């Protein structure tokens, strides 16, 4: 199989990034994300009647769940908009002397660049304000959250690209990715909790352990919390996970590897579907 040409990938990625910027996806992403992160940082301790900007480590912990709701949804919708069959620049690319794999990977690179830009600006606005008002204590935890946010977004871009292509690049792609978001972000953990009530204790631990790797949302959550706060955050279950994987650093590394594998597998699946797809009929 012919390897993708870096020059072509860069050209497609630049075009995709320009399209996303013109569509104001990045601007909307930055504004919404900055507003939400600032609100969470300021009101994160409101339950104990304390309002005000938190330190970086508290801000990172408070933001994690918000990130795991917003980032998958935003990146998946951005990918659907890019890969959906709608004519224009994308359809022109298929008429050029480039391979479908190059188009797919180039578009994913461009979308990833937009995601990185939006995430850095969104987190940066809050980070600058927190650093100015509170100081830089715990900045490392905040940067860890930013890094895992970037990685999780890339995973969901690849997943949404694959799902959009499987759905035939039609308008129904939006419904497909929204169902996937609901299953991974909202329903998956409820299923795991439900199984814990009906399965024997030994099986419950195994299912919970496997569930972390079968869902990129859970992998991101657990890896981020381990990197920021250590195994103590999860109690006995976290201690068992870390013990099984050989230590905190090994556990984080393996979870990062699982996220990379998710992105690679989704990209490979999308490329396989696109190579076999009839672009004229969208199937």
Number of independent structural domains in the chain: 1
Q: What is the dihedral of CA 84, 87, 88, 91, to 10 degrees?
A: 80
pLDDT band at 52 (very low <50, low <70, confident <90, very high): low
Domain-embedded: residue 283: no
- Work out the number of other CB atoms within 10 angstroms of the CB of residue 175: 12
Domain-embedded: residue 1: no
Domain-embedded: residue 177: yes
Domain-embedded: residue 129: yes
- Residue 106 predicted with pLDDT over 90: yes
Higher pLDDT, 28 or 42: 28
b/e burial code for range 103-141 (CB count within 10 A of at least 16 → b): bbbbbbbbbbbbbbbbbebbbebbbebbbeebeeebbeb
Domain that holds residue 103: 6-276
As a whole number of angstroms, the distance between CA 163 and CA 181 comes to: 11
Tens digits of residue pLDDT in 132-149 = 888 888 899 999 999 999
Q: Can you give the pLDDT at residue 120?
A: 92
- Residue 263 predicted with pLDDT over 90: yes
Domain-embedded: residue 282: no
Q: Can you give the pLDDT at residue 244?
A: 73
Taking residues 174-195, what's their average pLDDT?
91
Domain-embedded: residue 281: no
pLDDT band at 151 (very low <50, low <70, confident <90, very high): very high
**Do residues 105 and 11 make contact, with C-beta atoms less than 8 angstroms apart?**
no
Domain-embedded: residue 55: yes
């Amino acid at each position: 199989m012919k390897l993708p040409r870096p020059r072509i990938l860069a050209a497609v990625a630049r075009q995709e990034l320009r399209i996303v910027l013109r569509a104001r996806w990045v601007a909307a992403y930055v504004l919404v994300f900055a507003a939400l992160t600032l609100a969470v940082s300021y009101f994160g301790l409101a339950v104990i009647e304390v309002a005000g900007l938190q330190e970086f480590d508290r801000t990172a912990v408070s933001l994690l769940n918000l990130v795991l709701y917003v980032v998958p949804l935003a990146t998946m919708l951005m990918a659907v908009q890019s890969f959906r069959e709608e004519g224009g620049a994308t359809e022109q690319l298929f008429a050029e002397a480039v391979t479908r794999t190059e188009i797919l990977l180039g578009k994913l690179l461009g979308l990833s660049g937009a995601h990185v830009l939006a995430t850095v600006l969104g987190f940066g606005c809050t980070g600058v304000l927190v650093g100015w008002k509170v100081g830089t204590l715990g900045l490392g935890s905040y940067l860890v959250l930013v890094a895992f946010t970037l990685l999780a977004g890339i995973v969901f871009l690849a997943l949404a690209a694959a799902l959009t292509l499987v759905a035939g690049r039609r308008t129904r792609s939006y419904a497909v990715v929204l169902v996937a978001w609901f299953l991974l972000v909202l329903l998956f953990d409820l299923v795991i909790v439900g199984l814990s009530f009906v399965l024997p204790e030994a099986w419950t631990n195994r299912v919970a352990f496997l569930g972390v790797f079968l869902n990129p949302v859970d992998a991101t959550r657990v890896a981020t919390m381990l990197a920021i706060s250590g195994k103590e955050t999860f109690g006995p279950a976290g201690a068992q996970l870390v013990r099984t994987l050989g230590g905190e650093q090994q556990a984080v590394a393996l979870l990062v590897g699982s996220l990379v594998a998710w992105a690679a597998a989704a990209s490979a699946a999308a490329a396989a579907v696109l190579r076999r797809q009839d672009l004229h009929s969208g199937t």
